[in-house]
Chains A and B, each alone.
Chain A
Amino acid sequence: MPILLIAEHDNKEVRPFTLNAISAASQINEDVNVLVIGSNSEEVAKSISQVPNVKKVIHVNNSIYENYLAENYTSVIVKLSDGYSHIVCSANTFGKNLMPRVAALLDVSQVSDITKVLSEDTFQRPIYAGNAFATVKSNDKIKCVTIRPTSFDPAPTSGGSAEIQNSDAGEATEISRFIKKEEIKSDRPELGTARVVVSGGRGMQSGENFKLITAVADKLNAAIGASRAAVDAGYITNDHQVGQTGKVVVPDLYIAVGISGAIQHLAGMKESKVIVAINKDGEAPIFSVADYGLEADLFEALPKFLEELNKLNTIQK
């Protein structure tokens, strides 16, 4: 039986984590159908049909889906769920909000945030903020699974030509309404997919001082991250937060500056390939996960770091 994957998009473009979820889904079963629920979202359906791993796109196009509400999406997904072995989507705030509502109506015990596919019913997932990994086997007839996007490579976006099938809308919800979204637009790479992430913590001491982080991030074409302490202190907005309750990142290079390394922060970054810690407290827990630790005052080290980077002429973009 095929897999039904729920796409995340803004009616114009597919959000990147959908591609990581498609990769994971094709490891479960190669027959992946993608459901696009949207309004004037033809472009989204078309671009997903070009993903080679996708066998069929089901497009539900109606003005009631101009903005994503879990209540609206759920009725369509439940209606279309017959004949599928799995319903999957990414385990970011989109999928975390949506999937349990679907699972409960199907009377399914959901498997959240998988990091590995071991077989069609057995998965690995982190528990306790990634301080342990559980291997779990789902016994439900339909399996509802959310996928940790950073644990799977994104699927290629061209070369495919899946059929696009239109399907009817569900009923519009009257119990909840979208009001607004304050999106922070940036020219930088997205935090979840960037090759390099430079993060600041409480040690930055102010929002103004984050310009030191910004300068290094500009040089390395990096995304900017932050610890919860820095966000709570108002130094930077919440969309930068890395950790158990923020974003999980797995870049090639993660540079933690003025971050002590609480368990909750480590949960969001310790799978990074190379970790650098710059902190003046030599006993800070961040050093226990760092490949390269520099015990130094960040206000001296960061400008010096930038100066040294400027001397190199081989920085990868």
Chain B
Amino acid sequence: MKILVAVKRVIDYNVQIRVKEDNSGIVTDNVKMSTNPPDDNAIEEAVKIKEAGKATEVVAVSVGEEKAQETVRKALAVGADRGILVKADGIIEPLAVSKILQKIVEKEKPDLVFMGKQAIDDDCNQTGQMLAALLNWPQATFASKIEVKEKSLEVTREVDEGLETIEVNVPAIVTCDLRLNEPRYASLPNIMKAKKKPIEQINAADLGIDTKPRIDQIKVEEPPKRKAGIKVASVEELVQKLKNEAKVI
């Protein structure tokens, strides 16, 4: 079985983002970038399945600017066998990403495609489901447990009411929740080894996919600031404030 894992380069989750002064977007120059956190879970799960002898190859793919190569390289350092970078500049909407991934799937013919359930930059939560639709494959979204069976997967999904279990035929798309596993750190020898693993570079335009955004981003603003609160000295004062000032109890 072959697993394709899609990874995205995003602003590191610990960075406090800043809105550009002209409200055209978010400042990304000189900001620390990392792999989208649930994409790390997706890679980890694929590598674990391979280590358990149930997969033969793990291929990491990213869509983005040249520097997204670092994100692919990081996936190679934690166990992916080879990488693919599809180069495209600017905002690439999930619909375009899923069309690009569809082309990669047609070429690579994986049995499973894993990715994070949501990217923490645009918070869209679309790409996996869209790719599943375009391929007419089943989708198991928000996965917190994956059991590989002979020709199917049994997946536990994190849903609002609790946990749901579904079975999907292979080939399938799985989008991963942070609770799926604990991603490993890359060891120094593996980082060195990853430098020798191949990364194929493809231009999105050569795949015949139009990546021009369909949605106009009119402006980006900071959220309204909360007015500064106060510190209370005691529980008694807190209860009095909630009752007499905030009037919420």
Using a CB–CB cutoff of 8 Å, the interface residues on chain A facing chain B are 69-71, 74, 92-94, 96-105, 107-113, 122, 126-140, 173-184, 192, 196, 220, 228, 231-232, 237-239, 244-245, 247, 252-253, 263-264, 270, 273-276, 282, 287, 289-296, 301, 304-305, 308-309, 312, 314-316
- Tell me the smallest distance from the CB of B55 to a CB of chain A, in Å: 20
Given known contacts A101-B139, A127-B220, is B235 in contact with A312 (CB within 8 Å)? no
What residues on B are CB-neighbors of A128 within 8 Å? 11, 17, 26, 120-121, 123
B220 touches A270 (CB 8 A): no
Which of these, A113, A180, A184, A316, contacts B123 with CB under 8 Å?
A113
Q: What mask results when residues 109 to 134 of chain B are scored 1 for a CB within 8 Å of chain A, else 0? A: 00000000110111111111111111
B13 near A: Cβ within 8 Å? yes
* Interface assignment of B213: CB less than 8 Å from any CB of chain A: yes
Chain A's nearest CB lies how many Å from the CB of B42?
14
Which of A101, A129, A292 contacts B232, CB < 8 Å? Answer: A292
- In the complex, the answer to whether B167 meets A247 with C-beta atoms within 8 Å is no
Residues of B within 8 A of A129 (CB): 120, 123
Shortest Cβ distance from A131 into B: residue: B17
Q: Beyond the given A100-B129, A130-B223, A270-B226, please list 17 additional residue pairs across the A-B interface where CB-CB is below 8 A.
A: A70-B129, A96-B125, A96-B141, A100-B94, A104-B133, A127-B121, A127-B122, A128-B120, A133-B221, A135-B217, A139-B216, A179-B154, A179-B167, A245-B117, A275-B226, A276-B242, A292-B242
The residue that B226 contacts in the complex, of A74, A289, A294, with Cβ under 8 A, is A289
A112 touches B120 (CB 8 A): no
C-alpha spacing A196/B242, complex, angstroms:
12
Contact B138 A239 (CB under 8 A): no
Of chain A, the residue at the smallest CB distance from B182 is: A232
Interface of B is mostly: mixed
B218 to chain A, nearest CB (A): 4
Most central of A100, A132, A296, A312 by chain B CB within 10 Å: A100
Which residue, B178, B215, B226, B234, has most C-beta atoms of chain A within 10 A? B215
Q: Tell me, yes or no, whether B162 is within 8 Å of chain A by CB.
A: yes
- Contact size range, B: 35 or more
A132 in contact with B179 (CB, 8 Å): no
Instruction: Please indicate the chain A residues that have their CB under 8 angstroms from the CB of B169 in the complex.
Output: 174-176
| 23 A-B contact pairs sorted by A residue (CB < 8 Å) | A71-B139, A93-B157, A100-B128, A105-B133, A110-B95, A110-B126, A127-B26, A127-B121, A132-B222, A135-B219, A140-B214, A173-B138, A174-B169, A176-B169, A180-B164, A180-B165, A183-B162, A238-B163, A263-B16, A276-B238, A293-B230, A294-B234, A294-B238
B239 touches A305 (CB 8 A): yes
B126 touches A103 (CB 8 A): yes
- The residue on A at minimum CB distance from B213 is A109
In angstroms, Cα B157 to Cα A177, docked, is 13
Complex: chain B residue closest to A231, CB-CB: B179
Report the minimal beta-carbon distance from A175 to chain B, rounded to whole angstroms: 4
Chain A: minimal CB distance from B181 (Å): 12
Contacts A100-B126, A126-B123, A314-B243 known; A183 to B220 CB distance under 8 Å? no
- Say if the beta carbon of B45 comes within 8 Å of chain A: no
CB neighbours (8 Å) of A178 from chain B are: 164, 166
Nearest residue in B to A71 (C-beta to C-beta)?
B138
* B95 interface neighbour in A108, A196, A245, A308, Cβ under 8 Å: A108
Chain A residues closer than 8 Å to B52, beta-carbon distance: none
Q: In chain B between 193 and 245, which residues have their CB closer than 8 angstroms to a CB of chain A? A: 213-223, 226, 229-232, 234-236, 238-239, 241-243
Q: Which among B164, B230, B248 is the interface contact of A252 at CB below 8 angstroms?
A: B248
